[in-house]
Chains A and B, each alone.
Chain A
Amino acid sequence: MFRQASRLLARASAVTRSRAFSSQVPAAPAVDSTFVESWKKVNPNMEPPKTPSVYMTPRPQTPTSIPSKLTVNFVLPYASELSAKEVDMVIVPASTGQMGVLPGHVPTIAELKPGVLSVHDGNDTKKYFVSSGFAFIHANSVADIIAVEAVPIDQIDPSLVQKGLAEFNQKLSSATTDLEKAEAQIGVDVHSALNSALTG
């Protein structure tokens, strides 16, 4: 059974107010006034540095009823793969197993293992193979998925996967130190996950 599906949360199109728990909801967009004041005491001649929340569009508040769509943000270091996309369901490879996320999911922080991430929107499904990362599901049906590397499944070459799996298995059996064993084990894990992604 898919327990929690969340991964790709698109930011809600209605950008209303900042998140409930960030108490920075004054007139100015998320400027921390205590910080500004303590800065002025130390260095009155210089502007205080900005903080990252100023650069972010505020997140929507938790709605009273469960929304119909899940908003997914899927980010990678070199691109924002999905940004504020509204989908029906997302299945993430959490380290405890595949997790399905629907709108109205309980807030969760999930650590990911190498596996397949699938985004379901109506009838079409998009699958990515994801190396590790994190997934945050928030109370307002927004899911943030941060991965280090992700490729669409159709771009994976099966022959290279088999070759890699054989190579790492061989390295694992010939490893001497703990570090080598750990590295070889990681390689084996990733390649077998790739293998099952291609077949499954």
Chain B
Amino acid sequence: MAMAALRREGRRFATPLISPRPIAAIRSPFLSEEDAPLGVRSISTQIVRNRMKSVKNIQKITKAMKMVAASKLRAIQVKAENSRGLWQPFTALLGDTPTVDAKKNVIVTISSDKGLCGGINSTAVKISKSLHKLNSGPDKENKYVILGEKAKAILVRDSKKDIELIITELQKNPLNYTQVSVLADDILKNVEFDALRIIYSKFHSVVSFLPTMATVLSPELVEREAESGGKLGELDSYEIEGGETKGEILQNLAEFQFSCVMFNAVLENACSEQGARMSAMDSSSRNAGEMLDRLTLTYNRTRQASITTELIEIISGASALEG
């Protein structure tokens, strides 16, 4: 009778652990005894231990990725901050014209090649798509030029026919002005545009990245806006030195402006990518740490429960022998 009572006690402990397979799969996947050989009733801590090991490894890896991103950020942040003066003279001269009415809009979306960098790439693509909608209308066309794998993956799915150029692996060599100016030259040669809109994430601080849109107008559009007054109205008061015609100078100016703005945009985007990756990996290691804490508690509970069960079996066996 005592045995029966003890057995009942035993079963009450054991029930949550030795549940039929489907419930185990749903409720407590750690606590099942499939791993133990047949006939042995001890509850196995093996599964919990395996999970703990893998979560600890993930924590180490994400911590290492955060350190790597931090060091890359330090290197490229200096360059980005030094290049910030480059586009300011152009904006001071030609103003900032996000609402210019252009027939052929080309949206240059800058994104990263590698993932695990938070939400900056999806934000950039969302903004590009909204711009596409904003500038759509009769006899207006919008095209995309994509820099980076991540934006390509998203935009290729639904806007394939609007994509003009895709450029990837930009950061294989350290970024410098020559490389970016060759890239800008490529884009200018192959794409017809009235207005170029460059979308990138500006690096404001390690935790804040501001999506930004810079506009570069084609020389014809600059002339048209200058004549019609408004933001560029004072451009006509500027004397032009050098070159044969005003048009030639404006052409060179537009191309130079595009390469300067691109250089700064690419650098800022690279900084934002590293910063976003840092914070993503940081929150990932923190989550892994919390998960590890919870798993440790479960592990200890399982371990104690199996010890208790063993003790009960031994004691009940011994008392059964004594009679």
Q: Is the CB of B213 within 8 A of A51?
A: yes
Q: Is the CB of A39 within 8 A of B130?
A: yes
Q: Does B215 contact A (CB under 8 A)?
A: yes
**Binary A-proximity of B55-99 (CB < 8 A = 1, otherwise 0):** 000000000000000000000000100111111111111011011
B132: nearest chain-A partner, CB-CB: A42
Contacting B at CB under 8 A, from A89-109, are 94-96, 99, 106-109
Q: Is the CB of B89 within 8 A of A73?
A: yes
Cα A75 to Cα B253 with chains together (Å): 15
Cα A35 to Cα B195 with chains together (Å): 15
Q: Does B13 contact A (CB under 8 A)?
A: no
Cβ of A106 to closest chain B Cβ, rounded Å = 6
Q: Is the CB of B99 within 8 A of A23?
A: no
Q: Does B117 contact A (CB under 8 A)?
A: no
B126: nearest chain-A partner, CB-CB: A46
Cβ of A133 to closest chain B Cβ, rounded Å = 8
Q: Is the CB of B249 within 8 A of A111?
A: yes
Cα A69 to Cα B20 with chains together (Å): 88
Size class of the contact patch on chain A:
35 or more
The answer to whether residues A32 and B79 also contact, given A77-B260, A107-B237 and a CB cut-off of 8 A, is no
Cα A138 to Cα B238 with chains together (Å): 8
Q: Is the CB of A49 within 8 A of B93?
A: no
Q: Is the CB of B96 within 8 A of A109?
A: no
Q: Is the CB of A109 within 8 A of B241?
A: yes
Q: Is the CB of A108 within 8 A of B241?
A: yes
Q: Is the CB of A109 within 8 A of B253?
A: yes
From B96, B210, B235, give the contact of A32 (CB < 8 A): B96
The answer to whether residues A56 and B130 also contact, given A107-B237, A109-B240 and a CB cut-off of 8 A, is no
Residues from chain A with a CB closer than 8 A to the CB of B287 are: none
Cα A107 to Cα B93 with chains together (Å): 10
* 10 pairs, A vs B, C-beta closer than 8 Å: A4-B241, A24-B95, A24-B231, A49-B127, A49-B213, A96-B241, A110-B241, A142-B92, A146-B256, A146-B260
Residues from chain A with a CB closer than 8 A to the CB of B37 are: none
Cα A51 to Cα B239 with chains together (Å): 28
Segment of A78-86, A122-130, A172-180 engaged in the interface with chain B: A78-86
Q: Is the CB of B211 within 8 A of A83?
A: no
Cα A51 to Cα B96 with chains together (Å): 7
The answer to whether residues A136 and B93 also contact, given A96-B241, A106-B239 and a CB cut-off of 8 A, is yes
Residue in B199, B232, B249 whose Cβ sees the most chain A Cβ within 10 Å:
B249
Residues from chain A with a CB closer than 8 A to the CB of B234 are: 20-21, 107, 139
**Binary A-proximity of B177-205 (CB < 8 A = 1, otherwise 0):** 10001000000000000000001001000
Cβ of B250 to closest chain A Cβ, rounded Å = 9
Q: Which A positions have Cβ atoms within 8 angstroms of B?
A: 4, 19-24, 30, 32, 34-35, 38-39, 42-43, 46-47, 49-53, 55-56, 59, 73, 75-80, 83, 94-96, 99, 106-113, 133-134, 136, 138-139, 142, 144-146, 148
Residues from chain A with a CB closer than 8 A to the CB of B243 are: 95, 111
From A34, A56, A106, A134, give the contact of B92 (CB < 8 A): A56
Cα A30 to Cα B91 with chains together (Å): 12
Known: A49-B211, A52-B91, A136-B92. 8 other contacts (CB 8 A): A22-B96, A46-B126, A46-B127, A77-B83, A80-B82, A80-B85, A109-B93, A136-B89
A58: nearest chain-B partner, CB-CB: B92
Q: Is the CB of A35 within 8 A of B99?
A: yes
Q: Does B138 contact A (CB under 8 A)?
A: no
Residues from chain B with a CB closer than 8 A to the CB of A111 are: 241-243, 249, 252
B232: nearest chain-A partner, CB-CB: A21
Cα A76 to Cα B82 with chains together (Å): 9
4 closest A-B pairs by beta carbon, nearest first, are A144-B89, A95-B242, A110-B241, A80-B85
